[in-house]
Amino acid sequence: MAEATTTTDSADSRPDAGDERLAHRGPIQQLLTRPEIGALIGAVGVWLLFWLVSAPFGTAGGTANYLDVAATLGLMAVPVALLMIGGEFDLSSGSMTGATAVIVVLLSSDTAELGGAGLSLHLAVPLSLAFALAIGWFNGTLVDKTSLPSFIVTLGTFFILIGAKLGFTKLFTNRVIAEGLDRSGGYEFWDNIFGATWIRNGHVWDDRDWAWGGLLIIGAVVLVLGTMELAYARREHPNVGGYLVSAIGTAAGAIGFILLLEQDGKSSNWIFGIITGAGVLVAVAGWCLARYQRAEREPAQSEHGPRVVRYLIAGLLGIALAIVVAVIIDSENSDRLDFLTGTPGRTVLALGIGATGVLAVLAALGRVSVGYPAIGAALAIIPAISYMVTVQGARAILFGVLAIMGLVLLSLAANRRGLAVAFTLLTSVGIVVLAFFIQSEADSRKLRVELFTALLLIALLLAASAVARLIAARRTSATPAPTPGPLSKIGAMIGLVAGLAFAIIELAQGDGILYGIITGVVKGGIAAFAVYAIDVVCRTLFTSDDSVGRSLVFVGLGSVMLGIAAKLMFITSEELAATRAETRFGVGVMLFLTFAVLGAWILARTQFGNWIFAVGGNKDASRSVGVPAARTKTTLFMLVSASAWITGMVIAFRLNSVQANVGDGNEFRYIIVAVVGGCLLTGGYGSAIGAAIGAVIWGMITSGIGFATWNSDWRFLVLGALLLVAVLVNNYVRSQAEKVR
Amino acid sequence: MAEFLELNNISKFYGNIIALTGVTTTVNPGEVTCVLGDNGAGKSTFIKILAGVHQHDEGTLLMEGEEVRFNSPREALARGIATVYQDLAMVPLMSVWRNFFLGAEPKTGMWPFRQIDIEGAKRIAKEEMAKMGIDIRDVEQNVGTLSGGERQSVAIARASYFGARVLILDEPTSALGVKQSGVVLRRIVEARDQGLAVIFITHNPNHAYPVGDRFVILNRGVSMGNWAKEELSQSDLTQLMAGGAELEALQHELAQAGT
């Protein structure tokens, strides 16, 4: 019945605006013209295949296994893809990864015993980077000056590197392996960077999780609906297709939830968790699609914009600050690094923290530009990293930095577009996801867990008040910016009292003065800030005449905060004691994911990305309109060799010894992976995300065959078939993309 | 009154080869100066001197009464001389708006997050092309999907948006069909009406005569002269272009052969 009405209804919902020559293209059709679509479909297929035939493949351990393979490949495949889009190849990229590793080991290992140069790693590591960059610059310059095909030029450097690696290794060590990295000076410092691992703990699921998880989901759903109500107009005739989508989402969510309860395997928990979450998301999205349409309002180019960004950034810097504090505390009884210990390090750190705090407050007040606190934060974070890096600390910083980057980007984007609300909401959702993540990380001390959760609360409140302001800006551009009212003063007092109370409680529990003070300050600050944020939200929305939307937002926000608060208050000591390390993700995986995201951003959004496409697509044309083609290409070559350096370091610090032939021949894998990901061999077309997905496919196949206990001889058959299929799909996609629309 | 762009006896030699000699003409805002000539007549050398790719060896090039010499395409661009090459104008696998702003992308955001202002770029590209009377279907479509005439139009709109004062069009109609050529000729008129000085390079007198205000004819590197439109009829132009006497002789021969 519902399906019958859908067909008649969808004809009406075709947009009548725009050019009549433009046929309506649905989101699926648009997606099908993306270069990475072939790889994406392939990845899902390969994953399903191995998930069906092998039990351990889907577990966190299995994931870590294939992601690790994918990471060493993908770290290179992403920059190689950029270079290919720029119209060039680098055949020396594979042996370059090994070359940097060999250089570091040879330079640093002991002279008498192992035949190395005995340098400190603080010298050897930067030297190998300089070497990599020099070769990259050489490749790029030679290709540019001689106009020879890069295939030939880099084939030359490829053989030179292979020969040099083998020759020098044998010359110095009399063997084909260079080893002894772990006995070099400064090893601990660099091992904490390139050899770092991220341990994921098993989560002890208990009854409380239902309560706070449920609250979070309900809160998020209601928040979305409320925002739609406020920022969008209701459709006169509900879109039945949207209801259908919503129903499918609900069904999927319900099935996922039932399976989540039924199955209790470790691998299935998170899979069904994700299915449930996705189901809820689809259900909400479908509902919004059915009920709401974009309101016909002038997108108010309000003067609140910069203020909102300022507000967000100031808050985020607060988070950064607290992370640094957390790291300091955390490092006190962890195995930390002996670098910059003593007064100088602490002084710089203290100055940085102080400067960030002061500047963040000034920025929030609008006295200085938002750029200044960023400088302060850098001052604080850099010594903090060098001084305190522990496994937990590094992880904490990574989380913090990623979260901040994401939030800042989102808020900037939100500020640029009229669609601010959706972006800010996404931010909140991201924070909630992050909360879950950190929750499963609870292997460290109570304080850090509490701090993190508390910080998330701050971020959420910030996002909420930003939403409120943006809604106000959208609705009436004449509305004055809300100012803190008397409630904020009360909030400050509540915060003070609460902070003191928390401090006393902690002291009474015998956790030490420092612990008490910091807990008090942070928790008190949160209490004060919560009241302030709610006050701002109230005042802003009070000008709105839409009582339904207003109350929905209130309820949604309230439940989310309550959920997090519940979580915050009841961290049990059993939970903290649960430190069963299950899975280790190497730092390579993090870097790989970062590279993929960065590469995609550079390609799609930056000027440099535009230039990459241009020099690969038509070098002469781009040069004639003023694109520095030579510089662009040389930069790309250097980018590839710098990534080869990072990969080389990850390889070297994983085993602490390097075979002379490591990495040789990998350059073709990088190119294959990039092609699977949709890059055109002739340049000018492709995707960084596609290359990353290609690397994951490669990883899944190579380790999946092992998990499935198949004979590994079949590996190349599968890979070859995959390559062919991917190229065919990409060919089709590209012809679609080139079609006259 | 000083002419906007004045060429006096411009010559160019490649070693002992005389590529171009004695070219004299003027270019003014709101006018179209046509440069006609057959293959090998020196048209591309002429363009390259004005576009800054090559430098002239003799003669003077005056811009607003001041002697100039362009050492690179960037210098010529900076003085407002934009060249639309017949085949080198666009990157086919990139979208219309990305091509429109290529090399001069509008940017937004604070430094490490500095990125292209995509919304603004799309809007401006669409507006600018509408101003030139180009009705583009979708600025997101790849340039490769456009027809030849549309591509030239996009290139002309781009040049005029980026502050070109002199627009050099290199054989914009040669690869196009009759209808498409008409479209491009209309763009030339529109660019002229917006106050640009247009230099229109072609070997087709039928395209040059309707839009041109001034004609320079090149033959084997030698300038045959420089005429204003009043001094010349369309058939004169055709005759001069084909080397006058030679074409007459050919016509004569053909006529005889026919009888």
Render pLDDT for B157-173 as a digit per residue (tens, 0 to 9): 888 788 788 888 888 88
Nearest to A591 by CA among A650, A669, A639: A650
Is residue A363 within 8 Å of A313, Cβ to Cβ?
yes
Test B88 with A618 for CB contact under 8 angstroms: yes
User: Which pLDDT score is estimated for A195?
Assistant: 81
Q: In chain B, which residues have their Cβ closer than 8 Å to the Cβ of A416?
A: 108-109, 117, 119
Q: Which two tokens stand for residue A328?
A: 């300091």
Own/partner long-range contacts of A147-153 (Cβ < 8 Å, ≥24 apart) = A150/A88, A150/A89, A150/A90, A151/A89, A151/A91
| pLDDT confidence tier of residue A152, bands split at 50, 70 and 90 | very high
| CB contact set of A350 (below 8 Å; sequence gap of 6+) | none
Q: Cα separation of B172 and B35, whole Å?
A: 12
Q: In chain A, which residues have their Cβ closer than 8 Å to the Cβ of B89?
A: 621, 624
Q: Cα separation of B195 and A404, whole Å?
A: 50
The pLDDT of residue A304 is above 60? no
* Cβ pairs A/B, distance under 8 A: 98
User: Which pLDDT score is estimated for A526?
Assistant: 59
Half-sphere exposure of B128 (CA within 13 A, CB side): 23
- Helices A207-231 and A420-439 meet at what angle, rounded to 10? 170
- Span A657-669, mean pLDDT? 89
Q: pLDDT digit string (tens) for A317-345? A: 555 554 555 445 444 444 444 344 445 55
Q: In chain A, which residues have their Cβ closer than 8 Å to the Cβ of B158?
A: 625
Task: Find how far residue A387's CA is from the centre of its chain.
Answer: 25
User: Which pLDDT score is estimated for A583?
Assistant: 65
Q: Which among B92, B111, B135 has the least Cβ separation from residue A618?
A: B92
Chain B contact for A624, CB < 8 A?
Answer: yes
Q: What is chain A's mean pLDDT, rounded? A: 69
Q: pLDDT digit string (tens) for A681-697? A: 888 888 999 999 999 99
The pLDDT of residue B182 is above 70? yes
Test B91 with A606 for CB contact under 8 angstroms: no
Question: A487-491, A530-534, B84-88 — which is least confidently predicted?
Answer: A487-491
Test A607 with B107 for CB contact under 8 angstroms: yes
Q: Which among B90, B119, B142 has the least Cβ separation from residue A621?
A: B90
Domain locations along chain A: 38-52+59-198+585-738, 296-476+545-579, 480-542
Chain B contact for A401, CB < 8 A?
Answer: no
Q: In chain A, which residues have their Cβ closer than 8 Å to the Cβ of B94?
A: 610, 613-614, 617, 684
Test A617 with B91 for CB contact under 8 angstroms: yes
Is residue A618 within 8 Å of B92, Cβ to Cβ?
yes
The percentage of chain A sitting over the pLDDT mark of 70, rounded to a whole number, equals 49
User: Which pLDDT score is estimated for A99?
Assistant: 94
- In this structure, the dihedral spanned by the alpha carbons of residues A623, A624, A627 and A628, taken in order and rounded to 10 degrees, is 50
Q: Nearest-CA distance from A733 to chain B in Å? A: 13
**Residue A20: strand, helix, or coil:** coil
Q: Which residue has the higher pLDDT, A362 or B140?
A: B140
Q: Which residue has the higher pLDDT, A689 or A192?
A: A689
A363 sits in which H/E element = helix A343-365
User: Which pLDDT score is estimated for A263?
Assistant: 63
Neighbours of A1 (CB within 10 A): 5
Chain B contact for A15, CB < 8 A?
Answer: no
Backbone angles phi, psi at B166, to 5 degrees: -120, 130
Domain locations along chain B: 5-92+164-233+240-258
- Span A227-245, mean pLDDT? 72
The pLDDT of residue A706 is above 60? yes
DSSP string, A649-696: HHHHHHHSEEETTTTTTHHHHHHHHHHHTT--TTSS---HHHHHHHHH
Q: How far is CA A297 from CA A190, A294, A301, in A?
A: 55, 9, 12
Compare all CA atoms of chain B with the CA of A414 and give the residue at the minimum distance.
B109
- Span B245-259, mean pLDDT? 68
Q: Cα separation of A173 and A106, whole Å?
A: 9
* Degrees, nearest 5: CA angle A348-A352-A358: 145
User: Which pLDDT score is estimated for A165?
Assistant: 92
Tokens 């259908």 identify what position?
A: A244
The percentage of chain B sitting over the pLDDT mark of 70, rounded to a whole number, equals 91
The pLDDT of residue A602 is above 70? yes
- Which residues, numbered 102 to 141 in chain B, qualify as contacts with chain A under a Cβ-Cβ cut-off of 8 Å? 102-105, 107-111, 113-119, 135, 137-138, 141
| pLDDT confidence tier of residue A465, bands split at 50, 70 and 90 | low
The pLDDT of residue A55 is above 50? yes
* Degrees, nearest 5: CA angle A552-A553-A558: 100
Question: A258-272, A283-297, A515-529, B129-143 — which is least confidently predicted?
Answer: A515-529
Q: Which among A416, A614, A741 has the least Cβ separation from residue B91?
A: A614
Compare all CA atoms of chain B with the CA of A411 and give the residue at the minimum distance.
B109
Q: What is the 3-state secondary structure (H, E, C) of chain B?
A: CCCCEEEEEEEEEECCEEEEEEEEEEECCCCEEEEEECCCCCHHHHHHHHHCCCCCCEEEEEECCEECCCCCHHHHHHCCEEEECCCCCCCCCCEHHHHHCCCCCCEECCHHHCEECHHHHHHHHHHHHHHCCCCCCCCCCEHHHCCHHHHHHHHHHHHHHCCCCEEEEECCCCCCCHHHHHHHHHHHHHHHHCCCEEEEEECCHHHHHHHCCEEEEEECCEEEEEEEHHHCCHHHHHHHHCCCHHHHHHHHHHHHHHC
Q: Which among B83, B113, B137 has the least Cβ separation from residue A412?
A: B113
Neighbours of A378 (CB within 10 A): 14
Test B141 with A741 for CB contact under 8 angstroms: yes
Give, as one character, the DSSP assignment of residue A303.
T
- Span A576-596, mean pLDDT? 70
Is residue A132 within 8 Å of A649, Cβ to Cβ?
no
Q: Cα separation of B220 and B38, whole Å?
A: 8
Compare all CA atoms of chain B with the CA of A626 and give the residue at the minimum distance.
B103
The pLDDT of residue A612 is above 90? yes
Task: Find how far residue A345's CA is from the centre of its chain.
Answer: 29
Task: Find how far residue A99's CA is from the centre of its chain.
Answer: 29
Compare all CA atoms of chain A with the CA of B141 and give the residue at the minimum distance.
A741
User: Which pLDDT score is estimated for A412?
Assistant: 47
Q: Which residue has the higher pLDDT, B86 or A508?
A: B86
- Tell me which of A625, A733, A734, A740 to substitute to probe the interface with B (most B C-beta atoms closer than 10 Å): A625
Radius of gyration of the CA atoms of chain B, in A: 20
Question: Which stretch, A356-370, A487-501, B184-198, has highest mean pLDDT?
Answer: B184-198
Q: Which residue has the higher pLDDT, A128 or B15?
A: A128
The pLDDT of residue B210 is above 70? yes
Q: How far is CA A526 from CA A357, A400, A499, A605, B160, in A?
A: 16, 18, 9, 36, 56
| pLDDT confidence tier of residue A162, bands split at 50, 70 and 90 | very high
The percentage of chain B sitting over the pLDDT mark of 90, rounded to a whole number, equals 1
Tokens 């590279």 identify what position?
A: A595
Is residue A566 within 8 Å of A215, Cβ to Cβ?
yes
Q: Cα separation of A667 and A88, whole Å?
A: 13
Position A689: which residue type? I
Which residues are bridge partners to B219 per DSSP?
B222
Q: Which two tokens stand for residue A50?
A: 């191995």
The pLDDT of residue A539 is above 60? no
Q: In chain B, which residues have their Cβ closer than 8 Å to the Cβ of A614?
A: 91, 94, 98, 102-103
Q: Cα separation of A451 and A456, whole Å?
A: 9
Q: Cα separation of B223 and B25, whole Å?
A: 10
Q: Give Dmax (Cα) for chain B.
A: 79
| CB contact set of B86 (below 8 Å; sequence gap of 6+) | B170, B171, B172, B174, B175
Half-sphere exposure of B134 (CA within 13 A, CB side): 30
Tokens 């809604």 identify what position?
A: A471
Compare all CA atoms of chain A with the CA of B81 and give the residue at the minimum distance.
A625
Q: Which two tokens stand for residue A441?
A: 């990380």
Model ipTM value: 0.80
| pLDDT confidence tier of residue A64, bands split at 50, 70 and 90 | confident
The percentage of chain A sitting over the pLDDT mark of 90, rounded to a whole number, equals 18
Question: A147-161, B32-46, B51-65, B236-250 — which is least confidently predicted?
Answer: B236-250
Question: Which stretch, A103-112, A222-231, A515-524, B174-183, has highest mean pLDDT?
Answer: A103-112
User: Which pLDDT score is estimated for A449?
Assistant: 53
Q: Which among B92, B101, B105 has the least Cβ separation from residue A617?
A: B92
Q: Which two tokens stand for residue B84?
A: 């639309």
Chain B contact for A627, CB < 8 A?
Answer: yes
Q: Nearest-CA distance from A254 to chain B in Å? A: 39
Q: pLDDT digit string (tens) for A67-102? A: 989 999 999 999 999 999 999 999 999 999 999 999
DSSP string, A517-538: HHHHHHHHHHHHHHHHHHHHHH
Chain B contact for A19, CB < 8 A?
Answer: yes
Instruction: Specify the fold of A38-52+59-198+585-738.
Output: ABC transporter involved in vitamin B12 uptake, BtuC (1.10.3470)
Give, as one character, the DSSP assignment of residue A586.
E
Test A622 with B104 for CB contact under 8 angstroms: no
Of 3.40.50.2000, 3.40.50.300, 1.20.210.10, 3.90.550.10, the CATH number of B5-92+164-233+240-258 is 3.40.50.300
Is residue B11 within 8 Å of B56, Cβ to Cβ?
yes
Q: In chain A, which residues have their Cβ closer than 8 Å to the Cβ of B88?
A: 618, 620-621, 624
| pLDDT confidence tier of residue A430, bands split at 50, 70 and 90 | low
Is residue B237 within 8 Å of B248, Cβ to Cβ?
no
Test B117 with A684 for CB contact under 8 angstroms: no
The pLDDT of residue A382 is above 60? no
Test A684 with B113 for CB contact under 8 angstroms: no
Q: Which among B85, B94, B142 has the least Cβ separation from residue A624?
A: B85
The pLDDT of residue A131 is above 90? yes
| CB contact set of A740 (below 8 Å; sequence gap of 6+) | B141, B145
- Helices A688-707 and A37-53 meet at what angle, rounded to 10? 20
User: Which pLDDT score is estimated for A429?
Assistant: 55
Chain B contact for A594, CB < 8 A?
Answer: no
